[in-house]
Amino acid sequence: MRDFYDVVIVGSGAAGLSCALKLDPGYRVCLISKGAMEEANSYLAQGGISAKLADENLDDYIEDTLKAGHYENDVDVVRTILDRSLDVVNDLIGYGVNFDKLDPDTYSLHKEGGHRSARVYHVGDFTGRSMCEVMAERVKARPNIDTCENTVLYDLIIEDNKAVGIRVFVDGLYRNIYARAVVLATGGIGGIFNSSTNYKSVSGEALSIAMKYGVEVSNLEYIQIHPTVLYDKAMGRHSLITEALRGEGGILLGINGDRFVDELLPRDVVSKAIRKKMEEDQTDHVYLSLENIYDRERIDERFPTVFQACMDKGIDIRKDMIPVCPGQHYHMGGIKAKLDGRTSLPGLYAIGETSCTGLHGRNRLASNSLLEACFCGMKCGEGLNASLPDFKAHMEENRETGNIDDIIADYQKILVDTIKERNHDFYEYWLKNEDA
């Protein structure tokens, strides 16, 4: 790890990796991760990455995205990203991502909730991991990129109203890393919840740090609850039960065996229906039945991630129903950013779930997250190639003496308090946590 880089990227998920791979190989780049590189939510993404079909009217895909977002999306942003979605997929294929195929010339596409067509590219039910592993291998092979794991961001360095670096905690020491551009790609906020599909370490500190410096943010109270999370009484990260299972015929049943909702409605609608059903039946879960899924006896081969997660709980999805309940999954809000990552603070960029571009509105359409992460990561890298900020700052050693755990806890409290203020009902039902 050096004291100075052209670009420092905080986050090792799809957004951060996509950005790193687009940067000029002549730049000195540092990509840091809070834990291991694979401890990013992108690695957990099961469903896939959505893209406009070659023969599809773009307006259909736009309408699906707008409807899911309750028409609070930025229409121009939606149109731009969706119009370029197949280019993103082709870039990933060029990197070496092997999306599933029906035959040598035809990709196997899933249909997911809120989509009128099957337009989701996937690799089994571990698409995010496959994409990130391919990109991470390429990043690690580039001699101009330093990858630094177990490195905790805890502050920005600001001079003359410009981001000129970051402050980190690594190997028991506090350090300053200066850079011509700082890119935040730290993911969502699931770590502040008792129950979430996110890694516990993904807890929104970058967002709180940006707020501390008055960086413009947007839609912080818009938090997605996924309808189908594997039911578990224990707190912590819970396994996602991919939407693709419902796309292939899985149905939701109450404890009395009654079907109560159209399973392929947008996620927030289905989550509310499940919540209502649980309250009516006075239970803490419902069931996902796979009885109508084609070739169910081979479902362990087609959905190995879900199969293993369920088997670990003694549930054999080849014959058993899956107990599920809604759980925190995604943050539509974040640091307000342009499509190339630019924020209201010069020198600071935000991409992926850390950012809010306006693509998602109030609720995200399934499998648009990996699309946004990769699109904006690529655009950010291309933008920095065209215009890398000048660097002018007084470089000094880090003199922090506080406890890193206390510093991070304070940032998390800022975020929890902000959500409580903006959406008290959501806080009471989903987030209330005495230890937060």
| Residues labelled as active-site residues | 267
For the residues of 315-332, what is the DSSP string, one character each? --TTTS-EEEEEEEEEE-
Pairing of the two strands 4-10 and 173-184: parallel
Name the amino acid, one letter, at 341.
Answer: G
- Please report which residue ranges of 169-223 form alpha helices under DSSP H: 205-212
Buried b (16+ CB within 10 A) or exposed e, 205-219: bbbbbbbeeebebbb
Name the amino acid, one letter, at 379.
Answer: K
Name the amino acid, one letter, at 237.
Answer: R
DSSP assignment letter at 190? G
Element (H, E) at 167: strand 162-170
Buried b (16+ CB within 10 A) or exposed e, 222-242: bbbbbbbbbbbeeeebbbbbb
**Three-class secondary structure of residue 276 per DSSP:** helix
Torsion of Cα atoms, 368 then 199 then 222 then 382, to 10°: -50
The distance in angstroms from the start CA to the end CA of the chain is 32
Check: CB of residue 416 under 8 Å from CB of residue 190. no
Cα separation, 313 vs 335, whole angstroms: 38
**Three-class secondary structure of residue 86 per DSSP:** helix
Buried b (16+ CB within 10 A) or exposed e, 139-148: beeeeebbbb
E-only strand ranges, 4-159: 4-10, 29-32, 49-50, 101-103, 106-107, 109-110, 120-121, 145-148, 151-159
Cα separation, 164 vs 390, whole angstroms: 10
